[in-house]
Structure 1
Amino acid sequence: MEPDRCNHNQGDNLVNLVQNIVLVTIILVFAALEIRSRKHEHFHATADDTKLELFMFLTLLAVSQPFIFLVTDKLSALAMPEQRNAWAHLPWWAMGAILLVADDMTQYWWHRASHSPLLWPLHRAHHTAHYMSIRITYRNNFFYYLMMPGLWASGVLIYLGFGNAYLVYIVIKLTVILGAHSAVPWDAPLYRVKWLHPLAWVLERTVSTPATHWAHHALTNEDGIGHYKGNFGNLLFVWDLLFGSAKITRRYPPKVGLQDDLLFGKERWFVEMFYPLIHSRRAHSAMVPGGRAYEEAQVDRHAAQQPAASQARGTGPRP
């Protein structure tokens, strides 16, 4: 292997290594906060929950992202060999702005598109957790991250010389994302303390917070807090404001998860992780060919029909 190419590959590997070390450190800090708050005692997570979250986290760090960065490096070297590190001279603010658009804005649209019938099975696992915690941050289908445009764009930008800027950017982004999923609502004091309200107003319109992101995970929209078809932002909440999907209530939904899981039981972890390679055997599943998401209106109709059906069979509640 040529010395220059070897050095470039070592540089890419270093980016992955440093990012993973930083990520684990941030996770440990938030985990300590959750443990200290004793919130984890109320998760009642199943073995399937733990397997899905653990294996998705490990495959993202050890397989998906390194694979994407390796492929983008090779393809970029073939397509534009003279452009390696060509943008390394850009000022930090320009690199940050480019990353926000190429990675964070595209992730907003990828997340939003993942709530469409076609892509929902790849993102559904993220919403099947009945608790909020840092442990669900990377809980998705295996192919969800492999197809994420922002990761591919980031790989190209690293080739162009954004390696160091990406490390700083990703530390900020991961801190915000983990904080938004954390079982500890760190933003609550901002709403309770009156003199902090101006700071809260700016913060909740700039980045994702527990209040805005928990609403996206809410079990229902009927409580006036849940906003299942909005609040898609990852790092920046600004995208939701710009593209008309924002809802700010400064409240937290009492329950999160999916109602069809309550009605029909949860999917197995390997189905959620590896669909469409593995299909569901559950009734009313989105994770079968031609399957569709179970909308809240359908849940309400199903719940209304159940007592009537039970009474018709003589198994309804007794007076």
Structure 2
Amino acid sequence: MRLAFQHPWILGIMLALVLAEIGWRLRKGRGYDGSAAAASLGVAVGQAVFRPITGIATGAIFLLLADISPLQLSASDWRTWVAGFVAVEFAYYWFHRSSHTVRWMWATHAVHHSSREYVLPSAIRLGWTEFFSLGWVFFAALVLFGFPPTVVAVLLGANLIYQFPLHTEAVRRLPNWIEAVFNTPSHHRAHHASETEYLDCNFGGVLIVWDRLFGTFRAEPQDRTLRYGLVHDLDSRNPARIALNEWHRLLGDIVRARGVRERIKIALGRP
């Protein structure tokens, strides 16, 4: 979301969409949990505090990898951006999928899934510990393969901004050709569901094609509303507790485990 903070007009559009969604939900009688939305804002503020530290650390690693990469693609070549888009989408799919299937990574990503109401502010519930959870390794690999750090950073930022308007119930299904290729609010609602049959699906960022290719696609049910939030429900409005709760659970299990092997199994096992 760093691109949004660098360009105020993007924040203005986001705020306008949030206000429009509030009006829509109230007109439809769906209600709106203002305190949960405020908690999402609190989490986002904390994430904005930690993001510069993460950015400096990952930026330094990316520049180091760019220096030693045997292939140096040019950021001024449009083909680098086209190939970079596909590469970032592919890396994002595996990063996102791993964030759901490796508990060490889930401890950060669970923050994003903690809202029980599926509204636009839930999009900015992002974990504070992304550097610690090592998700950046997936994108560092792209730099090592020759993509300029700027290309990776810009495309990843655009990927995250694209996903902001996906976090709403106001937009139903889009035309079939869009639903077939792109990640949509319908696909992302299924991704955020906490019901067993919808766990670990629809990991794409801008595109949904990788999910269709690798068998992780699930279509949203058309006859009912899904249940959102975490399987282990977290009913809190405290941003710090929301951001750190899953780490508390994970580290507690690691401390109680016996032996190094069992501790590693817990950290790298499924949530």
Q: Secondary structure at the residue paired with 2:195?
A: coil
Partner of 1:239: 210
Q: Which moved more, 1:237-246 or 1:36-45?
A: 36-45
Instruction: Write out aligned runs for 1:145-164 (5 A).
Output: 145=131, 147-148=134-135, 149-153=137-141, 161=148, 163=150
Give 3-state SS (helix, strand or coil) of 1:239's partner. Answer: helix
Please give the secondary structure, in 1, of the residue aligned with 2:232: helix
1:70-111 alpha-carbon deviations (Å, 9 max, x no partner)? 33214533x35x97xx3217742443223422x221221122
Counterpart CA distance in 2 for 1:17 and 1:116 is: 26
Who wins on radius of gyration, i.e. which is larger?
1
Cα offset, 1:153, TM superposition: 4.0
Task: Indicate if the aligned counterparts of 2:44 and 2:125 stay in contact, CA closer than 8 A.
Answer: yes
Aligned residues: 245
Percent of aligned pairs with the same amino acid: 18
Q: 1:245 to 1:76 in 2, by over 3 A?
A: same
Contact 1:218 1:253 in 2 (8 A): no
Matched with 2:95 is 110
Q: Partner of 1:55 in structure 2?
A: 46
Cα offsets for 1:18-71 (capped at 9, x unmatched): 67424x5334313202202324960333464432232124433x2223431133
- Compared with structure 1, are the counterparts of its residues 58 and 105 closer, same or farther at alpha carbon in structure 2 (3 Å cutoff)? farther
Aligned with 1:100 (options 86, 92, 109): 86
Q: Does 1:203 align with 2:178?
A: yes
Does the C-alpha gap of structure 1 residues 215 and 132 become closer, same or farther in structure 2, counting only changes over 3 Å? Answer: same
CA RMSD of the aligned region, Å? 3.6
TM-score, with length taken from structure 2: 0.72
Are the counterparts in 2 of residues 99 and 154 from structure 1 also a CA contact under 8 Å? no
Q: Aligned partners of 2:245 and 2:193: how far apart in 1? A: 24
Matches within 5 A, 1:13-162: 20-22=5-7, 24-38=8-22, 39=25, 42-46=32-36, 48-60=39-51, 62-77=52-67, 79=68, 86-88=72-74, 91-101=77-87, 103-116=88-101, 118-119=103-104, 120-145=106-131, 147-148=134-135, 149-153=137-141, 161=148
Cα deviation, residue 121, structure 1: 2.0
- 1:298 corresponds in structure 2 to none
Q: Measured at CA, do residues 165 and 145 of structure 1 come closer, stay the same or move farther in structure 2, by a change above 3 Å?
A: closer
Gaps of 5+ in 2: 257-265, 267-271
Structure 1 distance, partners of 2:116, 2:11, is 20
Query: 1:216 maps to which residue?
Result: 191
Is 1:87–1:161's contact at 8 Å kept on the other side of the alignment? yes
Provide the C-alpha distance between the structure 1 equivalents of 2:152 and 2:230, rounded to a whole number of angstroms: 38
The higher-RCO structure (CA 8 Å, 6+ apart) is 2
